[in-house]
Homo-oligomer: A and B are copies of this chain.
Amino acid sequence: MINSFEIPFPDKDLQQKVSEVKKASLKICQATNDERKISLNKMASLLIENSEKILNANKKDLLLAQNKGISKSLLSRLNLSKDKLLIAIEGIKHVANLTDPIGQIQINKELSQGLILQRKTVPIGVIGVIFESRPDAVVQISSLAIRSGNGVILKGGSEAYHTNLAIVDALQKGLDKSSIDKNSICLLKDRNESMAMLNLEKDINLIIPRGSNELVKFIQANTKIPVLGHADGICHLYIDDDCNLDLAVKVALDSKIQYPSACNAIETLLINKNIASDFLRKAIPIFRKHNVQLRGDERSMSLGIKLSADHKDWSSEYLDLILSVKIVDDIDGAISHIQKFSSKHTDGIITENKKNAAKFMHVVDSAGVFHNCSTRFADGFRYGFGAEVGISTQTLPPRGPVGLEGLVTYKYFLQGSGHIVEDFSSGKETFTHKDII
């Protein structure tokens, strides 16, 4: 159990590894756009060259996993077919061609004659990513990290260890054929290392956990390093009374069943009391047909829902074909339920009333606020980011699906020629504060 896990002190070996990544990150942050692009293309080439080795390593992991009696769904996620690998390699090339997130000038201003302030995007530094079994994630995360000029420390599921090792070996060989230090990518060997990494706040600038709620919460509670991610995905859909019923049922169904174990699937349906009877008459048989278990509050039970929802249901992420249903008096009732129970991932409204839509979208403070569409669209690929490193439910940026652009920060560059503040204090010099266009 992760909760009783004690954070170990980083041993010399880990400290050395992390310090190598840190050193590499100080070089890659100076690399040009072209250098980073080329390195991604080399990473792709070396994956192709080493694909047989990688697929063999995966066979080894699969065999070991089967012998351990790992579940079918885990086995299927662990399995890296040639096709999956080729898709991952295509993904690298795609990321290589995305707009450079580094060096974007956000502020360009003359503070006074000859004193120029620029705010430019820069890499974050070293990013630690802890993820579960899918080995193609290594490829995706590494390409996003290198493209954005960051060093990356990876820890995948132990059952994929040989596959991940073979992939990282190929990626590093690719870097070695480019101008980027191969130590920019590093694979940790076990949980001891990934947990000890949480103590290295001097060298690691961001932790991205992609795993169970339990893991994410544990990491958030046990490190001083900023954590990007989400523990729960409790998403809501509110059916307003002024709505197209067929559209409402269709979107509600997709939001629940299209992939129920995804974080962007809904867990609770909120229905305006004026339309509840009509909506449920249509929806109940359709949800039943798709094996969705409905759990209702008192009012919705009087309209045909058989099982009752208790107070625990409103804060449960089922990740399964279960949906809690609550009837609310009006949009304010829906919003206040969401304010109380939403995990601020994605919440949607179905309405033809523009004023209600605008109100809902302004007042609900989730990373995604959706109108007349499925919550399942909350995803980096669907948003057109090319790839995502995770989804953040925190209030401050980056929030929502985080792609390349979320892996950068900014800093202020001030360039003078001997400017001192005393001259401005004494009135000898004055600020001009002119934007440079």
Return the chain B residue nearest A433 by Cβ: B384
Q: What is the total number of residues of chain A having a CB less than 8 Å from a CB of chain B?
A: 70
In the assembled complex, the Cα of A409 lies from the Cα of B26 at a distance in Å of 29
Q: Is the Cβ of A372 less than 8 Å from the Cβ of B415?
A: yes
Question: Are B422's CB and A258's CB within 8 A?
Answer: yes
Question: What does the 1/0 interface line of A400-425 toward B look like (CB < 8 Å)?
Answer: 11000000011111111111111011
Distance to closest chain B CB from A71 (angstroms): 24
B29:A367 contact, CB within 8 angstroms: no
Q: Are A421 and B111 neighbours in the complex by a CB distance under 8 Å? A: no
| A396 pairs with B124, CB closer than 8 A | yes
A96 at the interface (CB under 8 A from B): no
CB of A394 within 8 A of chain B?
Answer: yes
Across the interface, which residues of B come within 8 angstroms of A77, CB to CB?
none
Query: Which residues, 100 to 121 on A, are CB-close (under 8 Å) to B?
Result: 109, 111, 115, 117, 119
Residues on B with C-beta less than 8 A from A330 are: none
**Residue of B122, B370, B378 touching A416 (CB-CB under 8 A):** B370
A254 to chain B, nearest CB (A): 4
A401 CA to B410 CA, complexed, in Å? 12
Copies in the complex: 2
The A interface, classified by DSSP as helix, strand, loop or mixed, is: mixed
CA distance A396 to B205 in the complex (A): 8
Counting chain B CB atoms within 10 Å of each CB, the highest count among A254, A339, A397 belongs to A397
A410 to B400, CA, bound (A): 9
Q: Check A374–B421 contact: CB distance below 8 A.
A: yes
Distance in Å from the Cβ of A283 to the closest Cβ of chain B?
14
Q: Would you call A363 and B30 a contact (CB within 8 A)? A: yes
Task: Answer yes or no: A226 CB below 8 A from chain B CBs.
Answer: yes
- Residues in B with CB closer than 8 Å to A363 are 26, 29-30
Contact B29 A411 (CB under 8 A): no
In the assembly, what is the distance between CA of A111 and CA of B111, in Å? Answer: 40
By a CB distance below 8 angstroms, the chain B residues around A362 are 29-30, 122
Given contacts A383-B117, A409-B399, whether A377 and B125 have CB atoms under 8 Å apart is no
A247-B418 contact, Cβ under 8 Å, with A115-B377, A363-B30: yes
Contact A111 B416 (CB under 8 A): no
CA distance A36 to B274 in the complex (A): 35
**Does A376 make an interface contact (CB < 8 A)?**
yes
**Cβ contacts under 8 Å, A206 to chain B:** 395-396
Does the CB pair B30–A359 fall under 8 Å?
yes
Q: Are A125 and B365 in contact (CB under 8 A)?
A: yes
Residue from the list B109, B115, B383, B413 in contact with A111, Cβ < 8 A: B383
CB closest chain-B residue, reference A119: B400
Q: What is the bound-complex CA distance between A247 and B416, given in angstroms?
A: 11
Which residues of A come within 8 Å of B, CB atoms?
A: 26, 29-30, 109, 111, 115, 117, 119, 122, 124-125, 205-206, 226, 244, 247, 250-251, 253-254, 258-259, 335, 339, 359, 361-363, 365-374, 376-378, 382-384, 394-401, 409-422, 424-425, 431, 433
Top 4 A-B residue pairs of the complex, sorted by shortest distance between their CB atoms: A373-B416, A254-B420, A384-B433, A376-B421
14 intermolecular pairs with C-beta atoms under 8 Å apart: A111-B377, A111-B382, A117-B383, A205-B396, A254-B421, A258-B425, A368-B411, A368-B414, A369-B412, A370-B416, A372-B419, A384-B433, A397-B397, A399-B410
